[in-house]
Amino acid sequence: MFSHLPPYAGDPILSLMEVFQRDERANKVNLSIGIYTDGRGIVPVLPSVRTAAAEIAKEVKPYVYLPMEGHGGYRQAVAQLLFGADLPAPEHLAVVQTLGGSGALKVGADLIARFFPQPTVWIPDPTWDNHIGIFEGAGFKVERYPYYDAATRGLDFNGMLGKIDSLPRGAVVLLHPCCHNPTGVDPTREQWEQIVAVIEKRGLLPFFDLAYQGFAESLEADIWPVRECVRRGIAFFLSNSFSKIFSLYSERVGALSVFCPQKDQAANVLGQLKLTVRRNYSSPPMHGALLVARVLSDATLAAQWRAEVEEMRLRVRDMRSKLAAQLKTAVPDQDFSFLLKQHGMFGYTGLSAAQVERLRNEFGVYAIATGRICVAGLNDGNVARVAETMAEVLRG
């Protein structure tokens, strides 16, 4: 019956995680997977979330299904967090709770594919690998726009803007509002202004994927391009994830928001989103949504959580500085200032696939073949060794 099924080679990043777990070297360091660990190298339970979890545990209620669109209080709190003072009126906004950011991308992609036949999405080159899988899986043709410039280790802004400015009306453009995964390279505010202006001029459909809100500059600044689209009345899709910024990976909490500038379209969009959810998994789970809703709806817990996000952001920034400074000392003829310009948990180091392999085989330091490291996996206990071993492979 199943003899024609080919084996699955495995996800490159998740497979590396298994190799790491089997590695018996005591001083091994995992910088491959996108998980935030604290200064002790532990995935934190945020104190705000711990308090919310304890409160919720005291109020066990029957486990009835959530509606297709998810928990009402959660959806409200998420919309408030995303849009703040720019929160569109309900007739302009459709929000559904999703299974993490991945679930939001999938529900959004399915919806677009159903109502815009033969869709194409333009994604940055490079991007998070699963963007390709999710959009292709939903029936999209996936095309790329220039993004990373290996020569400058920065943004190929002219290439990016030029390509976006050539796309046909209605084209779907996937954008990372902040903390680009995998490069850590983001457009500046001035560059975003130009990107949004071109999107408006050409009548494109932006699909923002926000997995790291608050990890670049602040919760407010990092979502600026999205809010600018609200101000200009540009329709968009927005997927957001709480996996990292609430450290709630396994709870699978996220949301998909669709902004509908034309009044009274949001009700139909919400209806079709519900139908998409119904056909996929019927309704989302409760617990993660309750945790996030509780934290965001309680002024004290919300303030505490904002401070926790800021603490994570600053810790990662500190690790970037330490890595760059120690690399500079070890390899003085090379410039590592590009590391300081990157935002968020990830960064491109400029290491080649062969250098990454040496790093893993000889020193037990795990990065991705593209040279991407998860800076959030560094701490005071391992950063010196990572810098030394990176310097060693860089010297050749």
Measured from the CB of residue 201, what is the shortest distance to ligand PMP in angstroms?
Answer: 26
Q: How far apart are CA 313 and CA 245, in angstroms?
A: 10
Could you tell me how many helices (H) and strands (E) the chain has, helices first?
14, 13
Q: How far apart are CA 214 and CA 310, in angstroms?
A: 7
Clarify whether 222 is annotated catalytic.
Answer: no
Measured from the CB of residue 391, what is the shortest distance to ligand PMP in angstroms?
Answer: 28
Residue number, nearest CB to ligand PMP:
100
Residues within the interface to ligand PMP (CB under 6 A): 34, 100-102, 128, 176, 181, 209, 211, 241, 243, 254
Catalytic residue among 106, 110, 128, 274: 128
Q: Which residue's CB is nearer to ligand PMP, number 111 or number 394?
A: 111
Q: Which residue's CB is nearer to ligand PMP, number 69 or number 363?
A: 69
Q: Which residue's CB is nearer to ligand PMP, number 256 or number 266?
A: 256
Measured from the CB of residue 393, what is the shortest distance to ligand PMP in angstroms?
Answer: 26
Catalytic residue among 106, 163, 244, 274: 244
Residue labelled with tokens 């990572």: 386
Clarify whether 305 is annotated catalytic.
Answer: no
Clarify whether 244 is annotated catalytic.
Answer: yes
Residue 264: left (phi > 0), alpha (psi -120 to 50), or beta? Answer: left
User: Are 236 and 226 within 8 A, CB to CB?
Assistant: yes
Q: Which residue's CB is nearer to ligand PMP, number 100 or number 285?
A: 100
Q: How far apart are CA 279 and CA 108, in angstroms?
A: 13
Query: Whose CA is closest to 196, among 228, 230, 238, 162?
Result: 228
Query: Whose CA is closest to 158, among 205, 127, 125, 191?
Result: 191
Catalytic residue among 110, 209, 274, 305: 209
Measured from the CB of residue 236, what is the shortest distance to ligand PMP in angstroms?
Answer: 16
Query: Where in the sequence numbering do the catalytic residues fall?
Result: 128, 209, 244
